[in-house]
């Protein structure tokens, strides 16, 4: 029988409350904690809390639970690896799983030619390393990134990030020489205007040539353009294909490196192993993390061989590419490889289901995405203005009914479920979403 969410005790239940109280007393106040979910265990697309409630996860632990919760093949790989050795330090010594994972990651994204790989503990660390790599290779100081971008939270990475002011406030001075351009969106510009009203604000990549490189910044000083091929935290924004192609062209013209941050869009999320393949654009460097280890901490910088030219000792890490994480990543890639056709099909079904809901609920604005990386914007039916408070209410309402949702951007819900989710499970989630929207709309 098809499983459904089950809420036995309104969350947070008594056990959850106890843990939340202890956490609140001792943990850093910087944590966000979207809603009071206290997980005990998970299986596939399902999460169980400490009070016995069962939730359907439509956000994949923020696009990390690629193979779902505790996938048996990933768990087995972790168990086997952990009985052999937990650590030796990949910067200084060798082991098979490290070499295997580098080889495997170097096999993705055609048109990049021969590649080399540096493994990290996280997406942030991979971005940080990529900043160092592009500066080292080009001997140029400046970097270009995009408004709405999220690249992580170390000082270099937040210098590229331009998502929420609180992520940067009082941490400065940040890296100098970082230029943020508006990200190209076919439906709503960065300034929140619907596309039809805002032609003057919209960047076409050529603005770099006609304005920035002419009047403000010599392209010969620019090391790299960092871009999420689909913007994640900024609101699940899909750029027009031409935008990425134009950036590729501009980079080639000026010897600038193109870096794709695939931390959120990679590892099968789009129905291709990496979004670069979906757009058919080869960057010079791609960065991976999140879903790569199914939750085990691992990330990667993958660069064209001629770009990863830094010498021995110039970059390293004690724990990065840990043997247990490498095995988890190899098992994850095996599972995801098999899931790719299903991800594409289920993504289409999800978009079709949301489009059906859009006919009933005027508050649903743009629906966009590919594979299981789908964003749904909530906007005022008459003015088209985003309604951030509705997003927050919807997250809470869905949680109370056993559906885990997570917002991004101003008023977008991101649908990034575990890649193992079935079409039946997607239907259950859409049904609950419909109920939530009915109830919230009645309140108005």
Nearest distance in Å: CB 361, ligand PLP: 28
Nearest distance in Å: CB 127, ligand PLP: 6
Stretch that binds ligand PLP, among 108-116, 214-222, 257-265, 392-400 (CB under 6 A): 257-265
Nearest distance in Å: CB 389, ligand PLP: 23
**Is residue 128 involved in binding ligand PLP (CB under 6 A)?**
no
Among 71, 137, 151, 248, binds ligand PLP (CB under 6 A): 151
User: What is the C-alpha radius of gyration for the chain, rounded to an integer number of angstroms?
Assistant: 22
Stretch that binds ligand PLP, among 42-50, 228-236, 327-335, 387-395 (CB under 6 A): 228-236
Among 289, 296, 374, 421, binds ligand PLP (CB under 6 A): 289
**Is residue 261 involved in binding ligand PLP (CB under 6 A)?**
yes
Nearest distance in Å: CB 275, ligand PLP: 11
205 cis-preceded (ω within 30 degrees of 0): no
Among 51, 233, 277, 366, binds ligand PLP (CB under 6 A): 233
Stretch that binds ligand PLP, among 136-144, 178-186, 188-196, 258-266 (CB under 6 A): 258-266
Nearest distance in Å: CB 290, ligand PLP: 6
**Is residue 127 involved in binding ligand PLP (CB under 6 A)?**
yes
Among 45, 53, 122, 163, binds ligand PLP (CB under 6 A): 122
Nearest distance in Å: CB 371, ligand PLP: 16
**Is residue 124 involved in binding ligand PLP (CB under 6 A)?**
yes
**Is residue 152 involved in binding ligand PLP (CB under 6 A)?**
yes
Rank residues 123 and 407 by Cβ distance to ligand PLP and give the closer one: 123
Residues that bind ligand PLP (CB under 6 A): 122-124, 127, 150-152, 228, 232-233, 261, 263-264, 289-290
């Amino acid at each position: 029988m098809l499983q459904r969410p089950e809420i036995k005790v309104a969350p947070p239940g008594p056990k959850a409350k106890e843990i939340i109280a202890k956490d609140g007393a001792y943990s850093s106040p910087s944590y966000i904690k979207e809603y009071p979910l206290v997980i005990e265990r998970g299986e596939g697309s399902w999460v169980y809390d400490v009070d016995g409630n069962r939730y359907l996860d439509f956000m994949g632990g923020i696009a990390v639970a690629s193979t779902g919760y505790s996938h048996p093949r990933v768990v087995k790989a972790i168990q086997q690896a952990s009985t052999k050795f937990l650590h030796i330090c990949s910067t200084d010594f060798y082991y098979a799983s490290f070499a295997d994972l580098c080889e495997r990651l170097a096999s993705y994204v055609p048109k990049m030619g021969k590649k080399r790989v540096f493994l990290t503990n996280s997406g942030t660390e991979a971005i940080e390393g990529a900043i160092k790599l592009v500066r080292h290779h080009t001997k140029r100081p400046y970097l270009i990134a995009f408004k709405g971008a999220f690249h992580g939270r170390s000082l270099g990475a937040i210098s590229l990030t331009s998502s929420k002011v609180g992520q940067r406030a009082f941490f400065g001075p940040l890296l100098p020489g970082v230029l943020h351009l508006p990200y190209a969106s076919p439906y709503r510009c960065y300034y929140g205007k619907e596309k039809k009203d805002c032609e003057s604000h919209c960047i076409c990549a050529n603005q770099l040539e006609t304005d920035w490189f002419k009047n403000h910044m010599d392209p010969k000083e620019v090391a790299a353009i960092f871009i999420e091929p689909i913007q994640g935290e900024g609101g699940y924004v899909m750029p027009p294909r031409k935008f990425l192609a134009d950036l590729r062209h501009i980079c080639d013209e000026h010897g600038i490196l193109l870096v794709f941050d695939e931390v959120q869009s990679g590892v099968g999320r789009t129905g291709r192993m990496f979004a670069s393949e979906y757009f058919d654009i080869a960057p010079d460097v791609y960065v991976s993390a999140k879903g790569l280890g199914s939750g085990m901490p691992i990330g990667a910088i993958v660069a064209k061989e001629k770009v990863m030219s830094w010498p021995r000792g110039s970059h390293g890490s004690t724990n990065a590419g840990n043997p247990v994480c490498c095995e988890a990543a190899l098992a994850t890639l095996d599972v995801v490889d098999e899931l790719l056709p299903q991800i594409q099909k289920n993504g289409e079904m999800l978009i079709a289901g949301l489009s059906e809901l859009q006919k009933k609920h005027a508050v649903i604005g743009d629906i966009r995405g590919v594979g299981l990386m789908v964003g749904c914007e909530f906007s005022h039916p008459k003015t088209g203005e985003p309604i951030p408070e509705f997003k927050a209410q919807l997250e809470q309402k869905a949680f109370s009914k056993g559906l885990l949702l997570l917002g991004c951007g101003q008023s977008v819900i991101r649908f990034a479920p575990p890649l193992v989710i079935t079409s039946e499970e997607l239907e259950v989630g859409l049904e609950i979403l419909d109920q939530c929207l009915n109830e919230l709309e009645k309140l108005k």
